[in-house]
Amino acid sequence: MAVSSTVTSLSLLEQIREPGADEAWAQVVSLYTPLLQTWLQTAGLQAADRDDLTQRVLEIVVCQMPDFEHSGRAGAFRAWLRGIAVNLLREFWRRLPTSGSGSVLDQLVDRHSSLSQLWDKQHDQHVLHGLLDLVEPEFPDQTWRAFRRLALDGAAARQVATELDTTVNSVLISKSRVLKRLRQAAAGLVD
């Protein structure tokens, strides 16, 4: 994923409101295009239709971003984005009725449904993978391997220390450093 590693006090949402924010918009497109594609595939759309609707969602985001008010709650942007996708799906299926489309829409509107929860989970996983890809090059290989084994694989610190021929303290420090950088990177991304 091509997301800039520049840490800034402005969130990505604030950046894209600025005139000439081409790099920030490129980040939004890079971050959300694959996610939208996954969401629309989950809704049962064919590849060409997914491409069209993804482009339309991003067009609407560009046009409506100046009016978007973030509520401060986690997931507000994601909910707004999902709402745009649901409205476009509704419009799409109105033109080309598909068996089961009503059920899909009902599930997407209900934030407690299994499909809505799946979309939220896919969003969170997508953003996490993007953050991991973003910060990995900033760390020495041993630090990254210690973090990955301890934080992502769930291995015990003593086991990781033995595997990497280092101390438990070194493994814990590696995890702490990577987590700190991930938090910094996450602060600059869309909720």
Asked if 104 and 44 touch (Cβ cutoff 8 Å), the reply is yes
* Cβ(53)–Cβ(4) below 8 Å: no
Q: What is the mean pLDDT of the chain?
A: 86
Residue 123 buriedness (CB in 10 A; 0-12 / 13-18 / 19+): buried
How much is the pTM? 0.71
Residues 38-74 have pLDDT tens digits of 989 988 899 999 999 999 999 999 999 888 888 777 7
Tokens of 96: 């080309």
Answer yes or no: are the C-beta atoms of 146 and 155 closer than 8 Å.
no
Domains of the chain: 1-138 (no CATH), 139-191 (1.10.10)
Across the range 137-148, mean pLDDT stands at 97
Strand segments, DSSP code E, in the chain are none
pLDDT band at 8 (very low <50, low <70, confident <90, very high): very low
H or E segment and range at residue 152: none
Identity of the residue numbered 137 = P
* pLDDT bucket at 190, cuts 50 / 70 / 90: low
pLDDT in tens, 72-123: 777 788 889 989 999 999 999 988 878 777 888 888 888 888 888 888 888 8
| 118, two tokens | 């799946």
- Cα-Cα-Cα-Cα torsion 157, 161, 167, 170, nearest 10 degrees, comes to -70
